[in-house]
Structure 1
């Protein structure tokens, strides 16, 4: 009984508990994941269009980008962005005499680095979805006088969304888990908050289990929402 009360006290809100820190860490993890995911979608769409363009240079750059991203561990990209980008920006600002002690914010570094990783995988998911749209749809759009931009926005995009959602949903779950990697650069997201609580109280099993449960809840909610989006997208854009 005393042990149970002790655990409940440690997981409570307020001065004696650590739930405040865990909730704050969970919110930061979600913020990083959402930001990185949106960056990845933008880079992925650009990369997919580049891979399908008539420009050999664009195709080469997009292929090189996806090959590099899928070959390098994500943690190395985080380190490169956080430390190398900080040094580069510090040098540039130092040349102008401004902010010689500049340090890239951990949240920004995490969002950018994970977004770059997401972009490499999103490129292939979106490219596959675009290719899966029947070629006759594009030909029909051109036949009625639509421009390339109008064809993409009005014809291809609505049909590719249901095809891309399963893959993009998996990438969201991946980036949600990978947000834990930013703890290695000292940014206090959910995993680092749990580690700090465990180290301060010596209740390692309790807090690491709590962190696992929070991730399970976020993943379960995400999976349910993604399923709803997939069902609605097929009903709206691909009616029977």
Structure 2
């Protein structure tokens, strides 16, 4: 999963979900005797695609964070007689989060900016709205600059929140 999704451009993943998802659902529906066209909601498709892309990168962050925890921590938890659920949630997870949060903030920033790619499905989001406004008013510099400021503001606010979370852990 992670190798395939991280090895393919994000735009291609969105196209595969948007155009291939409808075909896949129609194929499954045809097995049950339904042969009409089924259209998938662009928002749901885009959200799923972005979530799967973000998940592929996030799994690598969590994997790296768990691998960087000293093996002695796992052994000590086992020696104390704590069950596997308790080992993970009481000992490993807090240490993993401390190591993973800075890298997850990078994944979040990339995910935030990847949402602009959803505009190819016809869904109106910041970049699509900027494109429409720039075309109708013939002032592309203003609207694209405004979109840049919006993305910068979203990035700034989310980084402030993540930094507070980082300090907490």
Q: TM-score, normalised by structure 2?
A: 0.94
Name the counterpart of 2:167. Answer: 231
- Provide the residue aligned with 1:127 in structure 2: 63
The CA distance in 1 between the partners of 2:161 and 2:36, in whole Å, is 45
Deviation at 1:98, TM superposition (A): 4.7
2:115 match = 179
Give the structure 2 partner of residue 195 of structure 1. 131
Does 2:43 align with 1:107?
A: yes
**Shift, 1:97, TM fit:** 4.3
Kept in 2, the 8 Å contact 1:74–1:117? The answer is yes
Structure 2, gaps ≥5 residues long: none
Larger Rg: 1
2:97 is the alignment partner of 1:161? yes
Q: Within 2, Cα distance between the matches of 1:104 and 1:150?
A: 41
- Structure 1 CA distance, aligned partners of 2:146 and 2:94? 40
Inter-CA distance 99–151: structure 2 relative to 1 (3 Å threshold): farther
Q: Which residue of 2 aligns with 1:147?
A: 83
Which of residues 141, 144, 149 in structure 2 aligns to 1:208?
144
CA RMSD, Structure 1 to Structure 2 (Å):
1.4
Partner residue of 1:138 out of 55, 70, 74: 74
Question: Partners of 2:117 and 2:35 in 1: how far apart?
Answer: 28
Deviations 1:136-164 (A, max 9, x none): 12111111211222211111001110100
TM-score, L = length of structure 1: 0.67
**Structure 1 contact 91–100 (Cα < 8 Å) conserved:** no
Return structure 1 stretches of 4+ with deviation > 6 angstroms: none
- Any idea what SS the aligned residue of 2:15 has? helix
Matched, 1:219 2:155: yes
Deviation at 1:209, TM superposition (A): 0.8
Structure 1: which 5+ runs fail to align?
1-64, 234-240
Alpha-carbon separation, structure 2, partners of 1:105 and 1:94 = 19
Query: In the alignment, what sits opposite 1:5?
Result: none
Which is bigger in relative contact order (C-alpha 8 A, separation at least 6)? Answer: 1
Deviation of residue 170 (structure 1)? 0.5
Contact 1:194 1:211 in 2 (8 A): yes
- Give the secondary-structure state (helix, strand or coil) at the position aligned to 1:119: helix
